[in-house]
A = this chain, B = another copy of it.
Amino acid sequence: MKQLKIFTFATFLIVAVGAIAFGQESAPSANSGDTAWLLTSATLVLLMTIPGLALFYGGMIRGKNVISTIYYSVAAAFTVSITWVIYQYSLIFSGDIGGIIGNLDKLFLRGVTIDSVSGTIPEYVFVVFQMVFGIITVALISGSIVERMNFGAWIIFILLWSLLVYTPLAHMVWGGGYIGGTLGALDFAGGLVVHTSSGITALILAIVLGERVRYGKDNILPHNIVYTFIGAALLWVGWFGFNAGSGLASDGLAGNAWLVTNTAAAAAGISWMLIDYIVSRKVSLIGAVTGVVAGLVAITPASGFVNIGGAIFIGFTVSILSYIFVSRVKKALKYDDSLDVFGVHGVGGMWGALMTGVFADPSVGGKAGLLYGNPNQLLVQAISILITILLVVVGTLISLFITSLITKLRVEPQEEVYGLDFSLHGEKAYEK
């Protein structure tokens, strides 16, 4: 009996220790596999901006402005990297004030330690993963004002915009605020927060700044399509971190997100290729990669909710819409959204957000859309888009106004003619 007792007790001890050890690994503390994928994802999303987006944009402008164009993205990485840890993270993810904004409890990441956990990953990993979204959103905007916006004004503008637009919007959608929380809108990886917001902002900037000197008179053609291709490819590849990381775990949902992201990208690329062929009997590479990016944008809000059928539809249709905006509407309305941030990211983001309300398949992300018997979701998505637009328009105009009080928004015409690389940065990109 005594023996039995000891035996039993020994067993209990092993079990208890085991349970604690096991528990430490899986429940209260972080899961190393999820963490590994999120560390990778954060890295991939930074790769999308630096060098991805910088090259995507940098190849499409003239050689005298390539440094300037790249620097807009670099500046986005510089500023948001700092403001994020100081106040943006706290204002987005700590608490909630009125459904609109977080609080300042985590200013300077106060209280976050290497043992803090967010879901199944360390909070620090959550911090950096969210941060890289804040960076790329800002960088995306620059596509509409390349070759003319004053660099100083850019810095001031994005500091303000990150605070007045990105921070409340991200809180409202992902931080437990009104749009994602109360309203229940679906935005898996940033159709609203990243793309609709940057697209609308870009449109406003393009209109306020006006068109480039000799726009529509000279041929303003991409100076290096290879750079644009490299950039687009890194966007495509990095987007797997963007979307498949957004479930914050290394699991089947991440696998589905990876897959539908790729499917939508390819479908949209093919769609643009076909339009190109129908319209001009030539298939341009810029067209193909523009389609890919449009597809990636549109699948972004949907990637945690739809299946491959939805992905094919979303990808195929978004290129048609973007093509119309890029080649017809822009011409008709005569705004110089130079690299079509509105036509691709704005239009694509809104289309994707809407279609999420149609194609959301409950077997994927547990949410149903119109096609799965929940028409209400489509309405919710539409409302979320309207709120986003409203917030973005107001915040952008305020940011622009304050910026214009501090410095001039545009460079001088002569600086523009010489190129911003030389005028503002004292450099020439290429030397024989």
Contacts and interface: CB of A to CB of B under 8 A. Distances in A.
A378 to B, nearest CB: 23
A308 B85 contact: yes
A39 B234 contact: no
A81 B262 contact: yes
B34 A37 contact: no
Which of A34, A78, A117 counts the most B-chain CB atoms under 10 A from its CB? A78
A383 interface: no
A236 B50 contact: yes
Contacts of A37: 32, 35-36, 39-40
Instruction: Label chain A's interface by main secondary structure.
Output: helix
Interface string A22-38: 10011000111111110
Nearest to A40: B40
Interface in A204-251: 221-227, 229-230, 233-234, 236-237, 240-241, 244, 249-251
A229 B429 CA distance: 10
A78 B16 CA distance: 51
A414 interface: no
A252 interface: yes
A26 to B, nearest CB: 6
8 contacts: A33-B33, A33-B35, A42-B240, A55-B230, A81-B263, A81-B266, A121-B255, A224-B429
B32 A74 contact: no
B54 A233 contact: yes
A256 B67 contact: no
A227 B225 contact: no
Interface residues of A, number: 122
B63 A431 contact: yes
Contact of A308 (B30, B109, B223): B109
Contact of A255 (B51, B123, B430): B123
Given A14-B19, A31-B32, A35-B250, 15 more contacts: A7-B12, A33-B33, A34-B36, A35-B37, A42-B240, A43-B44, A50-B233, A81-B265, A82-B267, A114-B253, A122-B252, A128-B259, A131-B262, A223-B430, A284-B426
A124 interface: yes
Contact of A71 (B259, B265, B283): B283
A252 B424 contact: no
Interface string A172-196: 0000000000000000000000000
